[in-house]
Structure 1
Amino acid sequence: MNSFLRITICALLLSGCTLTNSQSMPYKAWYLGFSAPAYMEVWIESADVVDIQEQVFPRAMSGVASLITPPNNSGDPRGWPKRAPMGGGKYVTGADLPKQIYVRWQSLVEPQTYQMVIKIPEATRELMRKGEKVYCAADGKWITGYRQSIGIRLVPGGIAKVWVGGPCMAPIEVTKVKAVIDPRGPYEGKSDGEYDSLSNESKAYVEKFGVPYDSWK
């Protein structure tokens, strides 16, 4: 499986040399965001995007997945959210709608390193193209809204759920993916197996309650 992932990404990178200005979406850029449950800290080494025109956008996103770490163990990381946040991230500027997203990340509470390919079907892209009349309570206006954001929630055990959403619009779950473990460990084996330290709040929660793997099945 690991060899398959490496071959897949190499092939996609080689095929993404030609850029084009035409886009199939009704907005200039779409947003890629990541979140994690409370205390379940995640470091994203790289999220690489391949769009439907075979353009490749290496490291379209990297860094910390957004999460909440309340003090005194007052947060609850268990289960999937009813209304998923799009998470912290970036706009993928210059890209058409996504075909595949390759994600390599560290689950710091385990600790473990995962990688996966998220395939985005045409049905999901149609959701992202479709405009809907929606009411925005914040400014009291009706707008034509688009689900121009992809939110990916990463949890321990290497599981990810993916939603599409947009301003004033309810997010829609589109897929769930099980990643594989990268035996090389963090940073492709370049850190001698060393992971970054947890925050004090996350460390205190995990030491007292452990990691609720069963809540994300």
Structure 2
Amino acid sequence: MAPKDEGGCYRREVKLPYDSWRLGFGTPDYMEVWIETADAVDVRDRAFRRAMSGIASTQSRKNLKGNPRGWPQRPGAGAGKQVLGADLPRLIYVRWQSLAEPQTYEAYIVIPESTRRAMLKGEKTYCAFDDKWITGYRDMLTVGLAPGGVTRVWLMGACLAPIDVARVQGTVVKKGPYGGKASGYYRPPNEASRAYIEKYGIPYDSW
């Protein structure tokens, strides 16, 4: 079950060095995902329901030259949104449809205290895009979603190396898509993803 909303007014106790942090989602190549909901809970136990939903970032090359095995050393930010008004994250709940299988999963991702400390730490870093040195912050949580219910989480920031946060094994949602309200229907993967899976299968052991 997803975390419930907390009522009442809200005031941040510790001022963050940025206006908000970002929650993004991606998948291995060809392994499309539909996110039913991604809810964030901050350190003050405030729940931000549907902080993200919809399609996770996926590359599906038509020439089948993509490689879905494993995770990249420097993952992209993924498809996502800013979590406005939130303090530092304590928990991420995500429920998603793995269209490659198809199967529905959910996972509770606990954010370690060390990750929150890193989100507050500014680091001098060189940005090649701007050709200048900046004080950067890791203000992006990126979640990778893979078949078999595997989740992988990184903490990222512009021009800063990503930090590996966690690997969490999700569980099957037995009622299926949308808690059984979709009559078991899964949207089929796109043409390139279908072609890749039919030819090479799903590399479950690589994540």
Residues 179-194 of structure 1 mapped to structure 2, 5 A cutoff: 179-194=170-185
Deviation per CA, 1:20-74: give whole Å up to 9, x if none: 2225321110000000011000000000111111111110000001011111211
Q: How does 1:1-217 map to 2 (within 5 A)?
A: 6=1, 9=2, 12-13=3-4, 16-24=6-14, 25-216=16-207
* Superposed displacement of residue 191, structure 1: 0.9
CA RMSD across the alignment? 1.1
Distance 1:23 1:59 in 2: 23
Letter aligned with residue 27 of structure 1: Y
Structure with the higher fraction of residues in helix conformation: 1
Q: Normalising by the residue count of structure 2, what TM-score does the alignment of the two structures yield?
A: 0.96
Q: Which runs of 5+ in 1 are unaligned?
A: 1-5
**Structure 2 residue matching 1:72: 3-state secondary structure:** coil
Structure-1 separation of matches of 2:9 and 2:91: 17
Number of corresponding residues: 206
Counterpart residue identity of residue 84, structure 1: P
1-side partners of 2:8 and 2:19: how far apart?
Answer: 19
Preserved CA contact (<8 Å) 2:112 2:165: no
Q: Which amino acid in structure 1 is aligned with residue 94 of structure 2?
A: V
Structure 2: which 5+ runs fail to align?
none
Report if the CA contact (8 A) 2:34-2:55 is conserved. Answer: yes
Residue aligned with 1:40, SS:
coil
Cα distance in structure 2, aligned partners of 1:186 and 1:22:
35
Q: For the Cα contact (< 8 Å) 1:38–1:77, is it kept in 2?
A: yes
Query: Identity of counterpart residues, as a percentage?
Result: 53
User: How much does 1:18 deviate?
Assistant: 2.9
2:23 and 2:152 map into 1 onto residues whose CA distance is 13
Asked whether the 8 Å contact 1:19–1:55 carries over to 2, the reply is no
CA contact (8 A) 1:46 1:104 kept: yes
Q: Measure the CA separation in 1 of the matches of 2:103 and 2:49.
A: 22
Aligned-partner residue type, residue 48 of structure 1: D
